[in-house]
Amino acid sequence: MTEALVQLDQVTVAFDDRPVVDQVNLSVSRGDILTIIGPNGAGKTTLIKTILGIQRATSGQVSVASGLVIGYVPQHLTLEPTLPLSVRRFMLLSGRGLADCRAALARTGVAHLLDASVHHLSGGEKQRLLLARALARKPDLLVLDEPAQGVDLNGQASLYDLIRELREELNCGVIMISHDLHLVMAATDRVICLNQHICCSGFPEDISKDPAFVETFGHQVAESLAVYHHHHNHRHDLHGDVVPTAEAHGGCNHDHP
Ligand SMILES: Nc1ncnc2c1ncn2[C@@H]1O[C@H](COP(=O)(O)OP(=O)(O)OP(=O)(O)O)[C@@H](O)[C@H]1O
């Protein structure tokens, strides 16, 4: 039996008696990638804050495996603009040694920025730095809140590839929020569509046909996902370029009707 890293049973979070997360059940084990999608204000961030223990559930049960190490990648890097801060210093603030910090930066493709100022990093570099900080903790569970924000389309694909590789290398579980529906459909194992309550959940190829998904995202999005069934038969390097694999010779396959 696979032990759940985190399990939510009937979790509700209400602000001023308004349920923002409503009776949610979910479970993530090692090796799982679970993506939470949903419209603005659907309660996605509140839900992951509850998993992280930053937000208390109003009712229901949040259970985490004992000694669980969580690596959290927030939506944005929030910094005091007047405080000089190098990448090296930022990473060392995680409490890990320099060797671990260097290895994590190398894994996310930004080792060359060790002595750069965090204030001068591009949007994509900041996201990779945040991922490196989470990795340096050698997490059992990676929790990412819109990890591809500010990253161009090629960069997004390579970032999702990297997350999949890290899941295998660390044998960790992954929970992420994403708005990049096409990429999510290709990169995730399971999807939860949240609109306060879980309106549907399942495998990406099935979820786009679910009436609840169509109701939440509209016909146009559902149809575009249904025809854009993305067979991910290749990898991307950290610059977004396609790396052919043994079973494929590069290029995306998209099924057209
Ligand atoms: N601490 C709080 N106090 C009161 N209301 C809150 C609090 N935190 C979040 N909310 C409200 O809860 C609702 C859900 O917010 P949340 O940030 O979880 O949504 P989201 O799905 O992550 O949205 P987005 O996609 O826009 O980031 C919003 O209406 C928000 O205003």
84-129 confidence digits (pLDDT tens): 899 999 999 989 999 999 999 999 999 999 999 999 998 889 999 9
Atom of ligand 1 nearest to the CA of 146: 27
Does 76 sit in the ligand 1 pocket, CB within 6 Å?
no
For residue 238, what pLDDT is reported? 54
Compute, in angstroms, the gap from residue 20 CA to the centroid of ligand 1. Answer: 7
Q: Do residues 46 and 55 touch, judged by C-beta distance below 8 A? A: yes
Cα dihedral 51, 56, 57, 62, rounded to 10, equals 40
The number of helices, as runs of H, and strands, as runs of E, in the chain is 8, 13
CB 208 within 8 A of CB 185: yes
Check pLDDT > 50 for residue 255: no
Q: What single string gives the DSSP state of each residue in 81-99?
A: TTS--BHHHHHHTTT--HH
Packed helices 123-135 and 98-107: angle between N→C axes, nearest 10 degrees? 130
Say yes or no: CB of residue 43 within 6 Å of ligand 1: yes
How many whole angstroms from 24 Cα to the centroid of ligand 1? 16
Pairing type for strands 197-202 and 190-195 reads antiparallel
- Tell the burial category of 248 from Cβ atoms under 10 Å away from its Cβ (0-12, 13-18, 19+): middle
Q: For atom 1 of ligand 1, which residue has the closest CA?
A: 15
Say how many Å lie between the CA of residue 45 and the centre of ligand 1.
7
The encoded tokens of residue 223 equal 């149809």
Closest C-alpha among 47, 72, 53, 57 to residue 140: 72
d(CA 149, CA 76): 8
State yes or no: pLDDT of 186 exceeds 90: no
45 pocket-lining for ligand 1 (C-beta < 6 Å): yes
Residue 41 CB–ligand 1 contact under 6 Å? yes
pLDDT at 232: 45
Tokens of 241: 């370029």
Q: Is the shortest distance between the CB of 44 and ligand 1 below 6 Å? A: yes
Q: Which domains does the chain have, with CATH numbers?
A: 27-55+65-69+139-255 (3.40.50.300), 78-138 (no CATH)
Q: Write out the H or E segment, with its range, that includes residue 76.
A: none
54 Cβ inside 6 Å of ligand 1: no
Give the separation between CA 158 and CA 26, rounded to whole angstroms: 27
Structure tokens at 212: 């609840």
What is the predicted ipTM? 0.97
By most ligand atoms within 8 Å of CB, the mutation choice from 13, 35, 46 for ligand 1 is 46
Q: Is 50 exceeded by the pLDDT of residue 69?
A: yes
**H helix runs in the chain, sequence order:** 44-52, 87-92, 98-107, 123-135, 153-170, 181-187, 204-207, 211-227
Cα-to-centroid distance, 96 and ligand 1 (Å): 32
Average pLDDT of the chain to the nearest whole number:
84
